[in-house]
Structure 1
Amino acid sequence: MDTREIETPTPQLIEEAIDAGDGARAKKLLHLMVGDWERNKDYSINWIAQLLSFIGRRLGEPAVEEALRDLGERFVRPRRSGPVDTRKRMEGIARGMKANGADVAFSEDDEKYELSFRCGSGGMLIDSGAYSEPKNYLTLRERGPVTFDRDELPVYCAHCSVNNEIQPIEWDGAPQTVEYPPHGPGERCVHHIYKDAAAIPGEVFARVGKKNLNT
């Protein structure tokens, strides 16, 4: 890398290569940028999982929910204020998952949109064995709303229950998305985005300790 390449944002270098008709250089820079992003993403994901594991082991599993609720109030809720068309919400989730390295499969019926994918964050940790030695991140084992009423849930995936379902129900009466995280390596994460909150099954609310008040 010369001085200009070091100092110039990679997207700008890609645009310059495209404008110059140098497709090969543009592709090379794109692959480099994706690789840099993946390394930063993996660092951040492991950072989050380790910190939540430390919190849960030092202060108890309820403290994980407290920490995630604090994130929800400070960061998540302001980003999701106001009504959003459910199609747009689904497309936003799909873009986020693709940006995270997931391969997304899409289907639709009269009631809902369905996205399934090999998750590039929580699923990546599961697939890589991060919940066993040597990383040994925390698996939550206190069955309840945070674990989707499962016997256990990888700690990183707890933001899915707390920030995407429990808190949105408390704020607006319905989950942002109904999530079914993988149980083990190689499984896909599934999201249901309902077109009408009244159509969300009662058991979806019950598993996170809530009731559907939209019916």
Structure 2
Amino acid sequence: MTERYEGSFYGRRKGKPLSPRRTHLMETELPRLSLDLSEPAPQNLADLFDVPVREVWLEVGFGGGEHLLHRARENPDVGLIGVEPFVGSMAKVVNTLNEEGLRNIRLYDDDAINVLDWLPEASIDLAYQLYPDPWPKKRHWKRRFINPQNLDRYARVIKPGCQFRFASDIDTYVDWALQHCRDHSAFEWMAEGPEDWRKPWANWPGTRYEAKAFREERVPRYLTFLRV
């Protein structure tokens, strides 16, 4: 029987105190932008957004928000759901949304499993999990977000024929994610050669975590799985 982990899959939620301006935005703008999980999810997720969207994408753990914001800017007809429990990162994205007026992003600032359980079946056209907390110590591996139960959650909400994309610069987590996804009957690794997992996806903006990996001479890997 597969061991289940009951607890959070992320570490600390707070870092440096927010500026008064960002504190105000978190109090006034985040409630407007946040998903309301106390209400049933709309069967058509496009109804979550203030602008017409043709697809809905999900990013679990958007970190500094570089990728989430880039995809929103280059795809104004796509709705993006971004999940991030770290307060400083969420405040940065809320501030940018307020400054730029982007209307195709909705946010959630707690555990991603709540969103995955709330979303309707086969409602997501593309899902990303980029540079998640690797929990490098072996005794903490059970806290890694990629596990059979959470892959079941992803499989339920991602439309068949669509993709789940994963990136990490930690070799043990890359191997871990690859093994778990390949062992899951709902996912098929799409790589046909080494270059397929060495190169990022089209129009890749990079992230602060990727930049740190390069500075510390670690090599990022980019895994793409088809929801079969």
TM-score by length of 2: 0.27
Structure with more relative contact order (C-alpha pairs < 8 Å, separation 6 or more) = 2
TM-score by length of 1: 0.29
Bigger Rg, structure 1 or 2? 1
> If each structure's helix is expressed as a fraction of its own residues, which one has the higher value?
1
